[in-house]
Amino acid sequence: MCSVPAHGTATPAREVCRAPRLLRSSIRGVRRARDASPGRIPDPRAERLARPPPLGQAAAPPRPAPPRLPGQFRAAGGGAAPRGGGGPAAAELESDRRPPQNRCASAAKRRARRVPLTEKFVLLLVFSASSPSAWGHLFLPDSSKLLSGVFFTRRPAAAPAAARGQPRAPSAARRRPGGGAAAAGRAGSLERIRADHERALREAKETLQKLPEEIRRDIRQDKEKLLQDARGRKEAGAPGLPQRLFRQPVGAVGQEPADPEVRQRREKIKEMMKHAWDNYKRYAWGLNELKPISKQGHSSNLFGNIQGATIVDALDTLYIMEMKEEFKEAKEWVEKNLDFNVNAEISVFEVNIRFVGGLLSAYYLSGEEVFRKKAVELGEKLLPAFNTPTGIPWALLNIKSGIGRNWPWASGGSSILAEFGTLHLEFVHLSHLSGNPVFAEKVMNIRKVLNRLDKPEGLYPNYLNPSSGQWGQHHVSIGGLGDSFYEYLLKAWLMSDKTDEDGKKMYYDAVQAIETHLIRKSSGGLTYIAEWKGGLLEHKMGHLTCFAGGMFALGADGAPSDKTGHHIELGAEIAKTCHESYDRTRMKLGPEAFRFDGGVEAIATRQNEKYYILRPEVIETYMYMWRLTHDPKYRDWGWEAVEALEKHCRVDGGYSGIRDVYNNHESHDDVQQILYLRFSEDDLLPFDHWVFNTEAHPLPVLHKDDENKEENQK
């Protein structure tokens, strides 16, 4: 066994025998050199003893040698060496005194005793320390400068003895600017950490002493505070809107009608609005719609998880009718609860005309900044819908993921003309209010795509594929699927202060094609607008098509001089036909669609066309015709509709639709309860300063003079 006795202890053989041969041979060579000529290797202690004392100091007395213990012999240098633990010379001397016959037997023991345990540790430490120094600099970067400021504090070197009497040089902290500040900063950090720990301990003790109800209350309060802070940060940083000096457009507030009868009717309409609003607030506050029969809230899938459609939709009506408390409540709800950060698939068209349009209108009427911020925020959420090969937007969009698609029933996955063509007004205003041109660029690109396409007979089919840029099924309608596209062409020109020549040309070219191929006159003299399907006419007119009467009359101003009167007359003829569709029912409310074939005129012949769902298009045309002609019959026709609504549609929970307008039995369907009506003088929202989007939200004309004034103010 290999063993090395050291101070009376034995070391296992593997601790010596496993050492590398090179290390053992090196150690052996060093020992032999020291044993052979010990005088060659100077002893530092001897040198210190031999060195003369400094000037002025007495020589120190010699240190006495330690007493020799029994069993020890005197080693070289006069010191006593312990048995088995002496220096190498003593070990060699002891081995040489043994008989020759025992030398070979004890060779292994002599080799083991050559390296005492203490010296082995020293050598291993030296080897361990020198290896990283020798090899580490080849691979490791010099991080001393990086770490010196973190782990070490530099101290100035001590002055030499000769200069100790001279003035002391400034320290490193004094020489280097910020040195003292860094030390103070570290001390301050430690103090803050201690203070945080103490505060956390105090809060924990206080929490443990509270009752469970108090803890739950505190949690709710903390949660509400966090949500409010998050909303504040989002509103402060999300849209990044430029500063804008609000100036209320002309006509936002009008005068009371001079005619007492008109005032009375106007107050009645306001009472109807209050009846619907109060019930919505009582039974469905914060939800999208109210089912007036069951008195339950309803969230339409057109808006996904976005809530409050009725609130946003009614903001401008509440303001115009001077329902100040109701408007204040609605504004507060929008501030605190209207949230667009939801994982939901929405209808781009419906969200645009109701939410974006309602918020824009509320801002222009009231000047409340929250409406501008919310409108721009929602507009940005809608932008991914335009990420198609042609830039024609998808009909449906997940506003969280940005993934869009079209209605599965649309022709070959096509987008719908009335949907992608009814974004222009709102998106131009979003660019105007945000300073971001991307909104206007998106809708202008739609124009470019449409202008590159061939139109069958100058007409715009209802379906356009957003990937190929080609028309889908050749179905042309001025009612559903196509209606508001034509309306927005005209109103884009009007809203631009009549500078959008491209929109103007597209509108009047379309009207000419409509007159040529779709407008017909019945045997009884009623003018109607048919639908065109692959070159064949279907002599049916929908309730939605009745908006065209007001559109034709509104567009008379920009028509050629020889056509101005014709456009007014065309609008009046359409208004008369739509009034006949109301007047020929038992309830004096118009059906969803009516036909002009089989010996009937302006009557619904199919059961699935006899319902009425509070659509406003006919009453909208009456309003335009009254404003443009001041013919009193249009106000009378409007009042007939109001009386019919009160008699047949009013219920305890609001206003409901009718299943069959030709049947005296009132079977109601659950639909939205807000009907936007208005009896007013011409100075309230005048047409030369305002346009209405397709959901009847008023948007101001962007006068060039006003824009120049805003730029000068900036």
Dihedral angle, C-alpha 521, 527, 529, 532, nearest 10 °: 0
Q: Which whole number is the average pLDDT over 670-692? A: 64
Tens-digit pLDDT profile for residues 108-121: 555 545 545 555 55
How many other CB atoms are there within 10 angstroms of residue 711's CB atom?
8
What SS3 class is residue 683?
coil
Tens-digit pLDDT profile for residues 609-627: 999 999 999 999 999 999 9
In the chain, what percentage of residues exceed pLDDT 90? 55
At 221 the pLDDT is 75
| Model confidence band, residue 24 (pLDDT cutoffs 50, 70, 90) | very low
Positions marked active-site: 350, 483, 592, 617
Checking if the pLDDT of 548 tops 50, the result is yes
Lowest mean pLDDT among 159-168, 275-284, 662-671: 159-168
Q: Which whole number is the average pLDDT over 11-24? A: 44
| Model confidence band, residue 64 (pLDDT cutoffs 50, 70, 90) | low
Checking if the pLDDT of 502 tops 90, the result is yes
- Based on its alpha-carbon atoms, the radius of gyration of the chain, rounded to whole angstroms, reads 48
At 107 the pLDDT is 53
Checking if the pLDDT of 238 tops 50, the result is no
At 30 the pLDDT is 44
Checking if the pLDDT of 81 tops 70, the result is no
549 vs 485: CA distance, rounded Å: 15
Contact assessment for residue 450 and residue 466, using Cβ atoms and an 8 Å cutoff: no
At residue 620, what is the residue type?
E
Contact assessment for residue 257 and residue 679, using Cβ atoms and an 8 Å cutoff: yes
**Helical axes 424-434 vs 369-382, angle rounded to 10°:** 120
At 489 the pLDDT is 98
At 611 the pLDDT is 96
Most confident among 60-69, 227-236, 351-360 (mean pLDDT): 351-360
At 708 the pLDDT is 56
Checking if the pLDDT of 549 tops 60, the result is yes
Tens-digit pLDDT profile for residues 437-473: 999 999 999 999 999 999 999 999 999 999 999 999 9
At 213 the pLDDT is 76
Listed in order, strand segments (DSSP E) in 399-521 are 404-405, 415-416, 463-464, 475-476, 519-521
Which residue, among 278, 284, 357, 373, has the nearest Cα to 316 in the 3D structure?
Answer: 357
Q: Which whole number is the average pLDDT over 694-704? A: 90
| Model confidence band, residue 312 (pLDDT cutoffs 50, 70, 90) | very high
Checking if the pLDDT of 289 tops 90, the result is yes
Q: Is 422 annotated as a binding residue?
A: no
Contact assessment for residue 577 and residue 584, using Cβ atoms and an 8 Å cutoff: no
Q: Domains of the chain: which residue ranges? A: 1-38+78-132, 231-255+342-513+694-714
Checking if the pLDDT of 33 tops 70, the result is no
| Model confidence band, residue 163 (pLDDT cutoffs 50, 70, 90) | very low
Which residue, among 430, 413, 295, 444, has the nearest Cα to 351 in the 3D structure?
Answer: 430
705 vs 714: CA distance, rounded Å: 14
Contact assessment for residue 276 and residue 656, using Cβ atoms and an 8 Å cutoff: no
The alpha-helical segments, DSSP class H, found in 83-211 are 88-96, 100-103, 107-113, 117-139, 144-151, 172-175, 179-208
Tens-digit pLDDT profile for residues 516-542: 999 999 999 999 999 999 889 999 999
Lowest mean pLDDT among 48-62, 273-287, 315-329, 477-491: 48-62
Tens-digit pLDDT profile for residues 578-598: 999 999 999 999 999 999 998
Tens-digit pLDDT profile for residues 401-418: 999 999 999 999 999 999
Checking if the pLDDT of 375 tops 70, the result is yes
Q: Is the dihedral of CA 554, 555, 558, 561 positive or negative?
A: negative
Checking if the pLDDT of 145 tops 70, the result is no
Contact assessment for residue 371 and residue 426, using Cβ atoms and an 8 Å cutoff: no
Angle subtended at Cα 340 by Cα 338 and Cα 344, rounded to the nearest 5 degrees: 125
Please say whether the structural domain 231-255+342-513+694-714 has been given the CATH code 3.10.20.310.
no
312 vs 330: CA distance, rounded Å: 8
Q: Which whole number is the average pLDDT over 639-663? A: 93
Lowest mean pLDDT among 142-151, 415-424, 453-462, 635-644: 142-151
Contact assessment for residue 356 and residue 426, using Cβ atoms and an 8 Å cutoff: yes
Q: What is the mean pLDDT of the chain?
A: 79
* 598 Rama class: left (phi>0) / alpha (psi -120 to 50) / beta: left
At residue 484, what is the residue type?
S
Residue 239 tokens, joined: 């849209």
